[in-house]
Amino acid sequence: MTRAGQTAAATSTLSKTWVLVVIYLRQLLRKPVYLAAIVLSFTVVMAAVVMTFAVREGLRATLDASSQPGWYFMINAHANTELMSQVTRAQALNLEQLHDADVAHVRGYSAELAMLTRQKADGRDKELIVRGVTDGAFSLVNPLSGANYARIIEGRRFQPDKNEVIVGASLRNHYPDFAVGHSILLKGQPWKIVGVFTSGGSVRESEFWSDLVHLRTDYGLAPVYSVIAFGGPPASAARYNATLADLEKDTLTIRDSREHYAGQAQDLIDLVMYFGLAFAVLVGIVAATGVAALIESLLMDNADDLRVLALIGFGRERLIAHLALIGLLGFAGGVLGLFICLLLFSGMTFTTYSQSRELAFSISINREVISASLAYCVLLGMAAAALVIPRLQRRARHE
């Protein structure tokens, strides 16, 4: 066959397929219950898959926001977490020895004291971090991105020598009990929430912050810190630690933000990924078999129409149109499911436990989740249609 003949044949096949898609769709429209059942099956699949992976993406986004290049943390070399770390004032002075060739000004830093506190929220006890900070936490700027280490977005900062705290935005968004004007209990005394802060969407937004000196005095703690946060050029941790090795003999270590927050909920992210894949497959199998049964029932009802189509020259086009139509219905159901998710669940927050404390985060319905879920619904629709193709072929051989 010449190229012109091949082109004409392909055009003819495409035209016939499109005609059949329209015919099949009209047949479905005469069966609104069947049509609704098929579309809603894909809607449920889309909603389930989107929500499962949106939780994973939200948690991953929070950890990624915590791992911004340019942030460094000085911590006790023998401590696994900030809660177990102690850095003395004398040790903190070692920051002055960490020189950067491209930084001429005095290094800014945030000396912090992290403690675990149990608070009541939604009628249940929650293990949360209360962090003592100084003015340095609010003046510290990432030298690479220019982002603030912390910024007040509602209310005001806590005042020194007063029982006042500010709450991270993620924690406030998840728990109404932690809104501005409410109080938390520390050592049996009420501490008023006077403001809300953001910290680049990081895990720090799942904490309470207060005045370091007042917090340490109220708890009768020694004049030590848990961690010192500061900014610096990229890939400087090794050079910083080489300088510290000459000063402190392996008592301190400096980690970049990725290393410092490594392991926080990473296992849960992987678990949600595996669970999400298994759940998507299970829901898909149930939906595909149900849709296939509906399609087969429709074919039985329209057997005479199919026979007529075969007699007037429609062959493989029937199979292609069959696959295309159910794939389109899968896409339509996916779009409906996405709309429901965006309408009802956008901005929803969840919590999980990470390193002995609760971590709050918002779900993330991003492009990757949307495109992958829609593609899955389309493929699922075509798979359901393919399950019925052998029956169509057997019918064609008998006609």
Asked whether the beta carbons of 100 and 236 are under 8 A apart, the reply is yes
Indicate the burial class of 243 (C-beta count within 10 angstroms; 0-12, 13-18, 19 or more). Answer: middle
Which residue(s) pair with 131 in the sheet? 114, 209
- Spatial distance between the Cα atoms of 331 and 197, rounded to a whole number of angstroms: 41
Q: Of 264, 263, 262, nearest to 357 (Cα)?
A: 264
Give the dihedral sign, CA 187/188/192/193.
Answer: positive
- Spatial distance between the Cα atoms of 295 and 322, rounded to a whole number of angstroms: 10
Which position has the token pair 């990081």? 202
In Å, what is the CA distance from 188 to each residue of 163, 183, 218?
12, 11, 11
Task: Give residue 256's pLDDT.
Answer: 92
Asked whether the beta carbons of 337 and 374 are under 8 A apart, the reply is no
In Å, what is the CA distance from 140 to each residue of 42, 107, 111, 184, 221?
49, 9, 11, 27, 25
Q: Of 337, 352, 346, nearest to 49 (Cα)?
A: 337
Per residue of the chain (399 residues), give pLDDT as tens: 444 444 444 455 667 677 777 777 777 788 888 889 989 999 999 999 999 999 999 988 988 888 888 999 999 999 888 999 999 999 998 888 887 755 555 678 999 999 999 999 988 899 999 999 999 999 999 988 888 999 999 999 999 999 999 999 999 999 999 999 999 999 999 999 999 999 989 999 999 999 999 999 999 988 999 999 999 888 889 999 988 888 887 899 999 998 888 766 677 788 888 998 999 999 999 999 998 888 777 666 555 555 555 545 555 666 777 778 888 899 999 999 999 999 999 889 888 877 667 889 999 999 999 999 999 999 999 898 888 777 666 655 555
In single-letter form, the type of residue at position 172 comes to R
Half-sphere exposure of 131 (CA within 13 A, CB side): 27
* Domain segments of the chain as ranges: 14-64+265-398, 68-260
Helix axes 3-29, 303-311, angle to 10 degrees: 160
351 torsion bin: left (phi>0), alpha (psi -120 to 50), beta (else) = beta
Indicate the burial class of 96 (C-beta count within 10 angstroms; 0-12, 13-18, 19 or more). Answer: exposed
Q: What's the distance, Cα to Cα, between the start and end of the chain in Å?
A: 29
Task: Give residue 399's pLDDT.
Answer: 53
- Spatial distance between the Cα atoms of 149 and 110, rounded to a whole number of angstroms: 9
Verdict on whether the full-model pTM lies above 0.85: no
Task: Give residue 308's pLDDT.
Answer: 53
